[in-house]
Amino acid sequence: MDTHAAPRRPLPLGIQNLREIREGGHYYVDKTGMAIDLIASGKHFFLSRPRRFGKSLLVDTFKELFEGNRPLFTGLAAETRWDWSKRHPVIRISFGNGVLHGRRELERRIRSHLRDNRAALGLPRPDDIDPEDTSDDFAGLIQQARRQHGAGVVVLVDEYDKPILDNLDDPAVAREMRDGLRNFYAVLKDADAHLKFVFLAGVSKFSKVSLFSGLNNLRDITLDARWSALCGYTDHDLDTVFAPELPGLDRDEIRRWYNGYNWGGTSVYNPFDALLLFDRREFHPYWFETGTPTFLVQLLSARRFFTPDLARLHSSMTLLSSFDVDHIATEALLFQTGYLTIHDVRQPVLGKWMYTLGYPNREVESSLNEALLPAYGVPGEAAAVAQEEVIEALRRGEPGALQPLLHALFASIPSDWYRKNPLAGFEGHYASVFYSHLAALGLDLRVEDATSHGRIDLTLSFAGQIFLFEFKVVDDQPDGSALAQIRARGYADKYRSQGQTLHLIGIEFSRAARNVVGFEVETLQP
């Protein structure tokens, strides 16, 4: 027994302010050195990260730094690097609480925030400011704070985009919110002479034209590799800060389940997942369960999205940044909300950046595909019933037993669904359902698995075996072309040297029958 092991500390579950964490003796991952580096590198910043990623704690850390609350930073990187003799007035605004349903509610919320900030700074509202004009009130507050405190003003906005995102299913209201926030944020441009530091954080990255018109000096650090780990926990953080929590948990599974979020630099864990895992000591999709992606699922269904592409989606920086009420690029939505992350960054031509996106980890891959199945026609009960039988058939090395299970799965889709759904007639629907059904189980899948002879539709590694799938859609009767292609192109060659049993599986779907009509298997022993 290691008598020098660090003692366990309280977990900062649900705590988003630095004071409570530090004074309560909770675990704390020190981001203060990185925060100071960012402050030293510029003045106006924007950061997009998925929900529950520690953005609010980062915003609070900036607040405590600029207000000079030195005792909170004892023993942290900032203690010896920050000039504690200088203090700055801080205006902090968050749209994180509650759902706003119209422009009037938004204006009321902004007025409330401005009143609270005036009270915190000890500033009365001047008589010449119209209390109904939030932009005028905001501009006046910044100027007054600068005069009263004799130092540049710090403006911190958390969940800057939530009023818009909460209303994406009603574009007219979402546009109202966008226009109202654009007028509000525009104040920052003319107030620049009075500002020391500006930091806006949220989930989405709206285009500058749509939301930050004129605010050309706002630096977007979302895809800057230097700040990839500004929010979130790294592997190093888990192995050092949270070392007392690791015994009794499979370290490799922690990494597979929860690590993998990446913005071009160091991969990180969502803090929400890590903390709940350490608290409950069980693997669950903690982050995913906090917000069902209903809008996203509906959008993917309406756009007839081929779900296997979720594992390897290619995009440019332009597409990743294309987000507005009237134009929501699928890639941007999936990436900004945290359901996909960066797997690879390339620069094929100078200045032209290309990204390969994929699932960050097992939690998201499994949970998102399970959520997609009902949108693709499969009743939740039917999918759940088949899951355990699918696992057992694969574990026993009997892929032929998948045929009746797969047939029953497609038979469970009501005929009325085909008449009413935009996915009807979409050939990719069949492979999408099959893929999402396997992905929902958390299995090790590779889509479009490259070989020297072509690409295998789907490769599954499980229980010491390799399963190679090829899909075909036929008009009516099977013709054996799926398995024939696996053989003809020698897809199995890539795996023969691994000493594992190989199962070659050709599956044919019929447009007429809307089900599996061909299912051929060939097993190759090592």
How confident is the model over 62-90, as pLDDT tens digits? 999 999 999 999 999 999 999 999 999 99
Position 3 confidence tier, pLDDT thresholds 50, 70, 90: very low
pLDDT number for residue 486:
94
Position 5 confidence tier, pLDDT thresholds 50, 70, 90: low
How large a percentage of the chain has pLDDT more than 70? Answer: 98
Ranges of beta strands (E only) in 296-428 are 313-316, 323-324, 327-328, 341-349, 352-358
Position 386 confidence tier, pLDDT thresholds 50, 70, 90: confident
How confident is the model over 499-508, as pLDDT tens digits? 999 999 999 9
Per-residue pLDDT, averaged over 92-102, amounts to 94
Per-residue pLDDT, averaged over 464-487, amounts to 93
SS3 category, 124: coil
Q: Domains in the chain, ordered, with CATH?
A: 31-222 (3.40.50), 290-358 (no CATH), 379-524 (3.40.1350)
What mean pLDDT, rounded, does the chain reach? 92
349, with CB counted inside 10 A (0-12, 13-18, 19+), is exposed
Position 1 confidence tier, pLDDT thresholds 50, 70, 90: very low
**More confident position, 334 or 424:** 334
Per-residue pLDDT, averaged over 471-500, amounts to 92
Position 381 confidence tier, pLDDT thresholds 50, 70, 90: confident
The CA distance from 509 to 432, in Å, is: 12
How confident is the model over 147-159, as pLDDT tens digits? 999 999 999 999 9
Q: Is the pLDDT of residue 280 over 50?
A: yes
Helices (H) and strands (E) in the chain, counts: 21, 15
| Residue 352 CA neighbour count, 13 Å, CB half | 4
How confident is the model over 121-147, as pLDDT tens digits? 999 888 777 778 899 999 999 999 999
Q: Is the pLDDT of residue 406 over 80?
A: yes
Q: pTM for the full model? A: 0.91
pLDDT number for residue 222:
93
Position 54 confidence tier, pLDDT thresholds 50, 70, 90: very high
pLDDT number for residue 105:
96
Q: Is the pLDDT of residue 4 over 90?
A: no
Position 40 confidence tier, pLDDT thresholds 50, 70, 90: very high
The CA distance from 99 to 35, in Å, is: 30
**More confident position, 277 or 430:** 277
